[in-house]
């Protein structure tokens, strides 16, 4: 299976003033962008991990990484490999006790864990080509920073 290596370009908000939705943008080396809409809490988790900010107590994704490490496992990579009826599907690929395990998971959770562990994020080439857009096509995008204020 051919895959595209991607990086997390960032977490953004899209939509109108009454209905904003968080989106994670993955980009490849050619500059193509793949948007994945995520929930608000997952968006915040990815955003904080990208900024290398840690909560005083472990949040859910931090806890998952800590548990995996304590049990002697590691994240090999994340694979976003399918899209069905508007929903992306992904797998968390783990190395555990000299064996590889694949766990079905939401892309948002996989990305949140991958950012924390520095693990590669792969997307099936055919899927990336199907949904990728040029950066100029993505209008109405605002950085999540604009919605997080520390007054």
- Residue 133's pLDDT is 83
Residue 69 is predicted with a pLDDT of: 95
The pLDDT assigned to 16 comes to: 72
Low-confidence ranges of the chain (pLDDT < 50): 149-151
Tokens of 52: 């290398």
State how far the Cα of 22 lies from the Cα of 35, in Å rounded to an integer. 10
- Residue in the structure block whose two tokens are 């109405």: 140
CA–CA separation, 38 and 31 (whole Å): 21
DSSP per residue over 8-70, as a string?
EEEEEEEE-SS-EEEEEEEE-TT--EEEEE--HHHHHHHHHHHTT---SS--HHHHHHHHHHH
Domains for the chain: give ranges and CATH numbers.
3-147 (3.10.690.10)
Pairing relationship of beta strands 73-84 and 121-124 according to DSSP bridges: parallel
pLDDT tens, residue by residue, 62-74: 999 999 999 999 9
**pLDDT for 140:** 60
- Supply the DSSP symbol for 112: H
Instruction: Please check whether residue 55 is in contact with residue 38, taking contact to mean a CB–CB distance below 8 angstroms.
Output: no
């Amino acid at each position: 299976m051919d895959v595209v290596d991607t990086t997390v370009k960032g977490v953004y908000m899209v939509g109108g003033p009454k209905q904003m939705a968080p989106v994670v943008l993955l980009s490849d080396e050619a500059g193509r962008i793949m948007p994945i809409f995520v929930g608000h809490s997952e968006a915040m988790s990815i955003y904080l991990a990208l900024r290398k900010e840690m909560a005083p107590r472990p949040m859910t994704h931090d806890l998952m990484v800590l548990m995996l490490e304590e049990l002697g496992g590691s994240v090999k990579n994340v694979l976003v490999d399918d899209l069905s009826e508007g929903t992306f599907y992904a797998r968390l690929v783990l190395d555990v006790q000299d064996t590889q395990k694949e766990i079905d998971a939401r892309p948002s959770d996989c990305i949140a864990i991958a950012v924390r562990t520095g693990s590669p994020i792969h997307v099936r080439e055919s899927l990336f080509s199907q949904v990728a857009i040029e950066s100029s096509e993505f209008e109405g995008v605002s950085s999540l920073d604009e919605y997080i204020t520390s007054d």
